[in-house]
């Protein structure tokens, strides 16, 4: 008579404290369903948005205020293009700490050679004169008028902004040595502080700077507009120091780390989806952006000599522009030959350009890259995306047109076009400021976020499609469960051949497929999952952790399926779509209890296929198949009635718990023999909608 009701219980291992602890921590089916529930997702959106909004409200105002302050910070007593005098020669005698003791020292205020030199620092020829001084030294001298010192004292500006140096230097004030430095390794600007005695003096102030041209930068004394010379108050000096700390340390380091993390993120996304080549090239673009920002960090900038820094910068800029173009080509799905050819050129051209020229040629090449090459690469990327979008939009049939793809190509092309215009204006100094460009470098981040959002939108949709595939949620778990207890429901559509014949004859819609779709909906509505379908047969499973009573949930689903089948048949008949040989959608079904488990079967070529097998000491698949065959032996069954067969002990348990189900069982405790001659006690369930059509023989 088969196994007794409740035979689906397995023989469990001893329930130790460790097993209890793991079971306490392990997520249940109800927890998984709650995590995936849509209403829970809205709470997460709200939480993320609220948290981001609060942090923005706290940190954005002071950051914006700092940026605005940096834009407005200037010396309190400015000295634009101060009257620096230059001697492109060494001092006649080495200068000590007290230069006034040596009349031959150029830093001695009594020695007029430096202070009265006819050569001026800002006469436009300084850079040319320095060419012959590489590896040697030269002197700078500045006489600050007494009235300027008095004006600075009046506003309590007792510090003087000198600027930056790219080579080693030593400084004397009024013939007294005050400081020296390596120059290129210093991120903070050179700011001199004077005591009250000197500020109260009514005499001119004389600054002498000895520069050793030991690093091959065109102008070792880097007096730029970002650090204008003049007297500063303490608060102004602090702002200048903070500004330069942000520019030369915080900004490049933070962007370097951000772009490196973005690069790793896209690389791992590409590992999971190798066909998405744009992820790979986006990771290379982000990596090149990280290398471009790394050049500006004071640690790396001071480590290499000038020509090496120029060569690295040119190579990195070539790669950055080339990988941006390759990202656009990959996103536009161009021919593999074009992609490989472009990649070869991008990989090898920068090396030949960067390391086969002198400093002067490298300077010209760097300007050409910034003004011409980068904008052109982004423009070509936008052109390819727009061309692909236009070609797809011109396709005439709705089956081949992909409007979402056209939209994304247009967005991608627009982003590249905006980037091209930006880099053209930036390289040629059109419309964009050339001073205090604190935002420079962040444009890469904006472009990556924009392009990444478009590319990742496709990735998210691919994930959604994977989640909607027949592969069950159980197979997508990191660890497959050993056993899942519940109810197996099998349904087989009766008289399906006329439907297929009609479809083949007049190329009409697949009515069986539409019926199956509604079948799936009913199963999912009552907590079940579809685990298999073959031809007209569909197998559903109702998990005991998701359904308090899996068998009752299956019967409720059967009732819904029968009602849906009747309504669907009436609608198709109204539209004259139904085959004449059949009267409706009717099915035979079976229900069995037991345990199953998800497995992956290895296939040829390294592929895997999702599969289910019986677990424990139960055989629900075998039993469901046997009961489905027994439906044919039920008295009064025919092609125009839907019936479900289950074991008598299972039916007894259901009726005991749900007495209202008793009227839907049209046969109880019937003995039918299977094909092997074994007798089985079964009950026959008739869905409520069609029960009135059945006349059972006594």
Query: Confidence class of residue 116 from pLDDT cuts 50, 70 and 90?
Result: very high
The mean predicted confidence, pLDDT, of the chain is: 83
Say if residue 409's pLDDT is above 70.
Answer: yes
pLDDT tens digits, one per residue of 433-474:
655 566 777 888 888 888 878 877 776 666 665 555 556 778
The pLDDT score that the predictor gives to residue 693 is 42
What is the rounded CA–CA span in Å between residue 126 and residue 218?
A: 10
pLDDT score, position 53: 94
Q: What is the pLDDT of residue 478?
A: 62
Q: Which residues pair with 532 in a beta bridge?
A: 539
* β-strand pairing of 643-647 with 587-602: parallel
- From CA 682, how far away is CA 673, in angstroms rounded? 10
CA dist 608 and 602 (Å) reads 5
Transcribe 620-667 into DSSP letters.
HHHHHHHHHHHGGGSTT--TT--EEEEEHHHHHHHHHH-GGGGGGEEE
Which of 441-444's residues contact partners 24+ apart within 8 Å by CB, and which partners? 441/251, 441/252, 441/255, 441/292, 441/293, 441/296, 442/255, 443/419, 444/255, 444/259, 444/286, 444/289, 444/292, 444/293
- Global pTM exceeds 0.85: no
Give 540's strand partners: 489, 530
**Alpha-carbon gap, residue 279 to 284, rounded angstroms:** 9
Neighbouring-strand partners of residue 612: 598
Q: What is the mean pLDDT of residues 663-669?
A: 90
pLDDT band at 695 (very low <50, low <70, confident <90, very high): very low
Q: What is the pLDDT of residue 290?
A: 93
Distance CA 96, CA 61 (A): 50
| pLDDT category of residue 138 using cuts at 50, 70 and 90 | very high
What was the pLDDT predicted at 10?
42
User: How many residues does this entry show for the chain?
Assistant: 698
Quote the CA–CA distance of 203 and 318 in Å, as a whole number: 54
User: What's the CA gap between 520 and 569, in Å, rounded?
Assistant: 17
**Token pair for 94:** 């080495």
pLDDT band, residue 685 (cuts 50/70/90)? very high
Task: Say how far apart CA 658 and CA 579 lie, in whole Å.
Answer: 39
The pLDDT confidence band at residue 118, using thresholds 50, 70 and 90, is very high
- Give pLDDT, residue 697: 36
- Which residues lie below 8 Å from residue 68, measured CB to CB, with a gap of 6+? none
C-beta atoms surrounding 450 within 10 Å = 17
């Amino acid at each position: 008579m088969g196994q007794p009701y409740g035979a689906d219980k397995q023989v469990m291992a001893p329930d130790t404290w460790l097993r209890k602890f793991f079971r306490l921590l392990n997520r249940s089916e109800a927890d998984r369903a709650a995590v995936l529930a849509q209403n829970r997702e809205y709470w997460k959106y709200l939480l993320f948005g609220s948290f981001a909004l609060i942090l923005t409200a706290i940190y954005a105002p002071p950051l914006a205020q700092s940026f605005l302050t940096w834009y407005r910070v200037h010396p309190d007593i400015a000295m634009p293009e101060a009257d620096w005098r230059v001697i492109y020669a060494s001092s006649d005698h080495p200068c000590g700490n007290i230069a006034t003791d040596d009349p031959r020292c150029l830093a001695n205020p009594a020695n007029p050679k430096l202070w009265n030199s006819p050569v001026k620092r800002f006469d436009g020829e300084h850079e040319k004169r320095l060419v012959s001084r590489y590896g040697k030294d030269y002197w700078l001298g500045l006489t600050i008028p007494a009235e300027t010192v008095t004006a600075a004292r009046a506003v309590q500006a007792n510090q003087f902004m000198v600027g930056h140096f790219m080579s080693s230097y030593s400084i004397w004030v009024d013939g007294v040595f005050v400081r020296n430095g390596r120059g290129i390794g210093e991120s903070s600007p050179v700011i001199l502080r004077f005591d009250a005695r000197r500020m109260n003096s009514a005499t001119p102030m004389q600054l002498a700077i000895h520069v050793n041209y030991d690093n091959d930068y065109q102008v070792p004394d880097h007096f730029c507009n970002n650090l204008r010379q003049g007297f500063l108050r303490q608060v102004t000096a602090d702002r200048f120091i903070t500004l330069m700390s942000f520019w030369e340390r915080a900004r490049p380091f933070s962007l370097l780390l951000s772009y490196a993390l973005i690069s790793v993120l896209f690389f791992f996304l590409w590992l999971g989806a190798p066909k998405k080549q744009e992820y790979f090239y986006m990771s290379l673009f982000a990596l090149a952006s990280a290398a471009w920002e790394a050049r500006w960090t004071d640690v790396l900038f001071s480590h290499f000599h000038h020509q090496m820094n120029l060569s690295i910068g040119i190579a990195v800029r070539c790669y950055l522009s080339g990988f941006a173009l390759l990202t656009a080509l990959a996103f536009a799905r161009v021919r593999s030959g074009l992609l490989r050819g472009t990649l070869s050129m991008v990989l090898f051209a920068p090396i030949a350009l960067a390391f086969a020229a002198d400093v002067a040629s490298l300077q010209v090449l760097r300007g050409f890259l910034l003004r011409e090459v980068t904008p052109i690469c982004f423009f070509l990327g936008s052109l390819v995306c727009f061309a692909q979008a236009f070609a797809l939009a011109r396709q005439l049939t709705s089956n081949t047109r992909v409007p979402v793809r056209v939209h994304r190509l247009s967005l991608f092309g627009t982003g590249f076009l905006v980037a091209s215009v930006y880099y053209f204006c930036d390289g040629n100094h059109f419309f964009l400021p050339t001073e205090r460009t604190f935002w420079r470098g962040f444009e890469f981040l904006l472009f990556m976020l924009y392009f990444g959002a478009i590319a990742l939108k496709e990735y998210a949709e691919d994930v959604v499609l994977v989640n909607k595939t027949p592969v069950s949620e159980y197979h997508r778990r990191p660890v497959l469960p050993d056993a899942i207890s519940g109810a197996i429901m099998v349904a087989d559509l009766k008289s399906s051949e006329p439907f297929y014949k009609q479809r083949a004859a007049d190329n009409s819609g697949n009515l069986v497929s539409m019926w199956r779709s509604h079948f799936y909906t009913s199963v999912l509505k009552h907590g079940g999952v579809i685990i298999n379908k073959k031809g007209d047969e569909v197998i559903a499973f109702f998990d005991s952790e998701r359904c308090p009573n899996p068998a009752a949930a299956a019967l409720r689903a059967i009732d819904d399926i029968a009602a849906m089948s009747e309504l669907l048949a009436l609608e198709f008949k109204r539209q004259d779509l139904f085959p004449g040989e059949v009267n409706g959608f009717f099915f035979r079904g079976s229900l069995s209890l037991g345990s199953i488990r998800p497995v992956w079967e290895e296939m040829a070529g390294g592929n895997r296929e999702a599969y289910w097998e019986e677990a424990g000491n139960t055989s629900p698949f075998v039993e469901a198949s046997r009961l489905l065959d027994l439906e044919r032996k039920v008295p009064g069954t025919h092609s125009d009635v839907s019936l479900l067969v289950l074991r008598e002990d299972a039916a007894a348990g259901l009726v005991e718990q749900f007495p209202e189900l008793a009227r839907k069982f049209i046969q109880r405790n019937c003995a039918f023999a299977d094909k092997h001659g074994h007798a089985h006690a079964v009950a026959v369930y008739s869905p409520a909608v069609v029960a009135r059509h059945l006349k059972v023989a006594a």
